[in-house]
């Protein structure tokens, strides 16, 4: 969609090299601690209502979705939760590269299959991180939107929620394609990743508006790439923030 001009044109770094897993590489660092704070906030959010399926999205590309999603999933697994991480960003998939896994079979294999049964065992892979399983995106299909909004995708989400403590999805950005808007109606919660100095307020507002239209449960936002004197960069988390009040 050409409504918003992004100063930042994005990067394919994570697609080529995988997301940086600071929660594994340096668990004692400031950013790793920030990811644990995000984890704690997710737990607070699930006191009153079950929060088993959760996606991180953003208004545009390269705002940190894949990095935040993978690190939060690891933080959840590190405290003993059985976590499934699904790569539902079919056009810009990264999880197989991040965890060094084959992408020959994945989510698209299940969604495009004719079989009535969904057999996850063939496609869900162990990540190498204890308690964390990964469902890679699979080969890029010609019709990603159709697959993600299919009945089969809904059945898959309903199926995996029983098998894991929490299911975390890396999904496409809101303003490029409608996939996440459709998908969010079937999830327990959605978190918006906002990149400081990059994401435009109008774009955030539009993304929130779209999520509200689809009656998504917007849990809050992760403020990514916040400059920190010690760490150089960081992750912050907030919720209940009213974007309408910003000018
Ligand atoms: N807090 C941060 N500090 C520094 N670099 C970051 C931070 N978060 C993300 N990056 C970098 O920004 C780039 C984009 O991040 P990432 O791939 O996670 O975003 P994305 O929203 O998933 O992008 P895409 O739209 O391609 O899916 C990567 O090079 C990543 O390493
Ligand atoms: Mg990504």
Q: Is the CB of 57 under 6 A from ligand 1?
A: no
CA of 173 to the centre of ligand 2 (A): 8
State the pLDDT at residue 49. Answer: 80
Q: Is the CB of 14 under 6 A from ligand 1?
A: yes
CA of 88 to the centre of ligand 2 (A): 9
The pTM is what? 0.91
Q: Is 185 exposed, middle or buried (0-12, 13-18, 19+ CB in 10 A)?
A: middle
Spell out the per-residue pLDDT of the chain, length 247, in tens: 344 444 556 889 999 999 999 999 999 998 899 999 999 999 888 877 889 999 999 999 999 999 999 999 999 999 999 999 999 999 999 999 999 999 999 999 999 988 877 788 889 999 999 999 999 999 999 999 999 999 999 999 999 999 999 999 999 999 988 999 999 999 999 999 998 888 889 999 999 999 999 999 999 999 888 876 655 556 665 544 444 444 3
Q: Give the 3-state secondary structure percentages of the chain, helix then strand then coil, rounded to 5.
A: 35, 15, 45
Q: Is the CB of 71 under 6 A from ligand 1?
A: no
Q: Is the CB of 19 under 6 A from ligand 1?
A: yes
State the pLDDT at residue 1. Answer: 38
Residue given tokens 């159709």 in the structure block? 146
Enumerate domains of the chain plus CATH numbers: 31-246 (3.40.50.300)
Neighbours of 238 (CB within 10 A): 11
CA of 150 to the centre of ligand 1 (A): 28
The Cα–Cα gap between 66 and 168 comes to 11
Beta carbons of 72 and 168 less than 8 angstroms apart: yes
The Cα–Cα gap between 92 and 2 comes to 19
What is the Cα gyration radius of the chain? 17
State the pLDDT at residue 225. Answer: 82
- Distances 244 to 154, 202, 203 between C-alpha atoms, Å: 31, 10, 12
Which ligand is in closest contact with the Cα of 71? 1
């Amino acid at each position: 969609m050409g409504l918003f001009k992004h100063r930042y044109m994005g990067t394919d770094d994570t697609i080529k090299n995988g997301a940086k897993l600071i929660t594994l590489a340096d668990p004692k660092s400031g950013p790793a601690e920030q990811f644990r704070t995000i984890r704690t906030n997710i737990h607070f959010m699930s006191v009153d209502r079950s929060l088993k399926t959760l996606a991180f999205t953003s208004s545009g590309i390269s705002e940190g979705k894949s990095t935040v999603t993978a690190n939060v999933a690891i933080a959840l697994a590190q405290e003993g939760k059985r976590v499934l991480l699904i790569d539902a960003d079919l056009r810009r998939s990264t999880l197989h590269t991040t965890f060094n896994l084959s992408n020959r079979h994945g989510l698209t294999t299940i969604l495009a299959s004719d079989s009535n049964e969904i057999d996850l065992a063939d496609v869900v892979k162990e990540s190498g991180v204890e308690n964390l399983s990964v469902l890679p995106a699979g080969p890029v299909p010609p019709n990603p939107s159709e697959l993600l909004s299919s009945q089969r995708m809904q059945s898959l989400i309903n199926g995996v929620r029983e098998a894991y403590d929490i299911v975390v999805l890396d999904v496409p950005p809101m303003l490029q394609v409608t996939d996440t808007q459709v998908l969010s109606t079937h999830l327990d919660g959605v978190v918006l990743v906002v990149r400081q100095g990059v994401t435009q307020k109008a774009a955030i507002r539009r993304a929130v508006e779209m999520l509200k239209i689809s009656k998504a449960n917007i849990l809050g936002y992760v403020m990514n790439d916040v400059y920190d004197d010690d760490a150089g960069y960081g992750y912050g988390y907030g919720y209940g923030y009213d974007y309408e009040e910003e000018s």
